[in-house]
Amino acid sequence: MTAVPIRDDQRQSSPQVEAAILEAARDLLAAGGVDGLSMRQVAEQVGVSATAIYHYFEGKQDLVNRVVLQAFERFGSYLQNAMESHPEGSVARVSALGEAYLRFALENQAYFRVLFSIQPKDPAVFEEVPEGGGFHLLRKAVSDAIEAGTIRNASGSPGTCEGVTIPKHPDLISMYLWSTAHGLVTLALCGASDRCECGGVPSVIDLYRSFIPLIAEGITARPVGREEPEKRGEQT
């Protein structure tokens, strides 16, 4: 169906049309992912012909990228919000960040899917993301916690944080925490986590909460007596 001709007095000016396109694209993207977004559908929803979009965007990929950029901003403020309700330097703040990460992903699945679709997308997209799309928040929270002494310094050997208090690279711990939360929610979203009942833990959030003691204290047996934990061998 061709778009109904727009009378001049209701013809939208360019920035409004662009915004309307972005909004329509966002809805379609959130509803059905990249495949669910079609130029013609966007156009129809805006009340404009499909090719008009090409006046504002270079193509579908560009349109998607722009929406993703907006989504990252929303994602960032969502995380920030969740973080600020816990004291600076606390482990609670770090773990709340993780929980918010999960919650956002679960509540905006199609959105999240697009954000982190395992595609070799333009690195430019990520580069334009303001402040790393939440990663800087995590990094900050981890840094604060290290400084507050609630999280150990990754740069040192286990326990050698006695004299040395300078956190060299909280990036490592941040990346580690990011991986865990992201992996969990990713597996959950593709249905893979159903393979593991995990003793009847029902929701992904609960599963994540069950991870926390493991993350905090590690998984190796710390024997009450004195038992040599077996060393990791080196392999190819």
Radius of gyration of the chain (CA): 23
Residue 29 as a binder of its own copies (CB under 8 A): the answer is no
Residue 155 as a binder of its own copies (CB under 8 A): the answer is yes
Residues 49-88 contacting DNA, CB under 7 A: 49-52, 54-55, 59-61
Residues 6+ apart with CB under 8 A from 145: 89, 90, 91, 93, 94, 151
CA-nearest of 32, 214, 225, 184 to 102 is: 184
Between CA 226 and CA 137 the distance in angstroms is 40
Residues 6+ apart with CB under 8 A from 69: 125, 128, 129
Residue 106 as a binder of its own copies (CB under 8 A): the answer is no
Residues 3-42 contacting DNA, CB under 7 A: 3, 5-6, 8, 11-14, 17, 37-41
Residue 50 as a binder of its own copies (CB under 8 A): the answer is no
- What is the nearest approach in angstroms of DNA to the Cβ of residue 110? 15
Residue 123 as a binder of its own copies (CB under 8 A): the answer is yes
When CB distances are held under 5 to 8 angstroms depending on the partner's kind, the choice from DNA, its own copies, none that residue 71 binds is none
Instruction: Give residue 90's identity as a one-letter amino acid code.
Output: S
- What is the nearest approach in angstroms of DNA to the Cβ of residue 18? 8
Which is nearer to its own copies, 19 or 172 (by Cβ)? 172
The answer to whether the CB of 110 falls within 8 A of the CB of 37 is no
Residues lying near DNA in the complex (CB under 7 A) are found at 2-3, 5-6, 8, 11-14, 17, 37-41, 43, 48-52, 54-55, 59-61
